[in-house]
Amino acid sequence: MDRSPSAERKRPLDTIVEKIRTGAAIPIVSNSFRNDRIFAGLGTETALAKPGVKGRRLSIGEQLAKRWAAQIGYPMWDGQDLARVAQFNAVEVSDVEVAKGRYKMFVKEELIALAEANGEAAGLIDDLRRAKSEKSLADLAQELDYPRFSEGCEDPLRLLARLPLPIYVTTSYYDFLERALVAEECSPYTQICWWGQHPPLNLLPEHRLNQDLSPCALSPLVYHIHGLERYASSMVLSQDDYLDFVTAVAKDFEDPAQFDQVIPLYLWKELSQSSLILLGYRLQDWDFRVLFRGIINQLHRRPFTLNLVVQLSPEEQGGIDDCDKAREYLQGYLQDAKFDVVWCGAEDFVHMLWETYR
């Protein structure tokens, strides 16, 4: 595949590379950026569409949500919506840790089952099943050698980690970014957003809130804005979680001087002054809507700072009646918030970004 930047993408790529060289760019990486690659073997499934319209292909996240919905007996038609399925699960279980632990175990079992169905790592499967409660999803993926890439194609997360960036923000619940940074000989700091609750008693010392961090390219910050799998209560998963998260963050804007801000002051400052690169999000998903409307739109951003949303074109998303009108709508929606759209896959964009930087 030719990964050279096209003419229409070259200007924003060149500009972003200049920002990267000065440490003034922040990638914001979705949960799906890595999960879509890990669970690519699930295949494809199509959502119902109205007569005469081609059905929309479900994303990997939607397919996983639909499988979980079937497993826990979710009774509604929208089982592909993870936040709604998680809300049903939370009400049914009535315990935050247990409810989210249920989801964590489901995702880990799906990965093991996928490897088993593909006839891979046969000697490991039974051991991994027995130990899955003690292992993270990233642990299991590493032991199963997931994700897989075709020969000659570098892991885009490793390329992103190779850039001299001091800060990464992610809505992923997993430490895939930290592992990629360590593989690139960096020593990352992991910080977690504790929205609406105090950190747990079993918090590791290295995960304690540090309001005075000074991250750099060799010791970058990875900020898990929607929580980390290790601490189930921190995960923003259900509808109520997203609403509570927005409410908690709103208090930061009401009183910027308060000491116990949900998101540290130094990170607010960097987010407001840096170029932001949103990777792997779909506009209709909860994680994007809450991130974009609840945080990014509230920042007092500099008027001439380039910000990018990397987005699959409407033609590639499927299930859209009028692709030209959809494209116009998406561009207008994002440009109002001073974001340019790059129409391509997130992994392809990172490859192009790396080639331009190199």
Please report the pLDDT score of residue 315 as a whole number: 65
Look at the chain and count its residues.
358
304: left (phi over 0), alpha (psi -120 to 50) or beta: alpha
How is residue 200 written in tokens? 């747990």
CB burial of residue 85 (10 Å; 0-12, 13-18, 19+) = buried
b/e per residue 139-174 (b: at least 16 CB within 10 A): bbbebbebbeeeeeeebbbbbbbbbebbbbbbbbbb
User: How confident is the model at residue 8, as a pLDDT?
Assistant: 46
Q: In the numeric block, which tokens belong to residue 67?
A: 């499988």
d(CA 26, CA 270): 8
3-state secondary structure of 300: coil
The pLDDT value recorded for residue 53 is: 47
Check residue 1 and give its pLDDT.
41
Domain boundaries defined on the chain: 7-33+153-357, 38-143
Cα dihedral sign, 342-153-180-172: positive
pLDDT tens by residue, 175-227: 999 999 999 999 999 999 999 778 888 899 999 988 889 999 999 999 999 99
pLDDT band, residue 2 (cuts 50/70/90): very low
Tell me how far apart the alpha carbons of residues 135 and 114 are, in angstroms, rounded to a whole number: 17
Q: Which two tokens stand for residue 225?
A: 């804005």
Instruction: Give 326's contacts (C-beta < 8 A, 6+ positions apart).
Output: 314, 320
Q: Is the pLDDT of residue 72 over 70?
A: yes
- What pLDDT band is residue 317 in, cutting at 50, 70 and 90? low
CA atoms of 309 and 300, how far apart (whole Å): 18
Rounded distance between C-alpha atoms, residue 86 and residue 88, angstroms = 5
SS3 content of the chain, % helix, strand, coil (to 5): 50, 10, 40
List helix spans (H) across the chain.
Answer: 7-21, 32-38, 60-72, 82-93, 96-117, 122-131, 137-143, 156-162, 176-183, 239-254, 265-273, 286-294, 314-317, 323-335, 346-357
- The two tokens of residue 305 are 């700072």
pTM (two decimals): 0.91
The proportion of the chain whose per-residue pLDDT surpasses 90, expressed as a percent, equals 61
pLDDT digits (tens, 9 = 90+) for 261-294: 788 888 988 998 999 999 999 888 899 989 988 8
Residue 145 vs residues 9, 60, 203, 276, 348: alpha-carbon distances, Å: 33, 19, 28, 31, 21
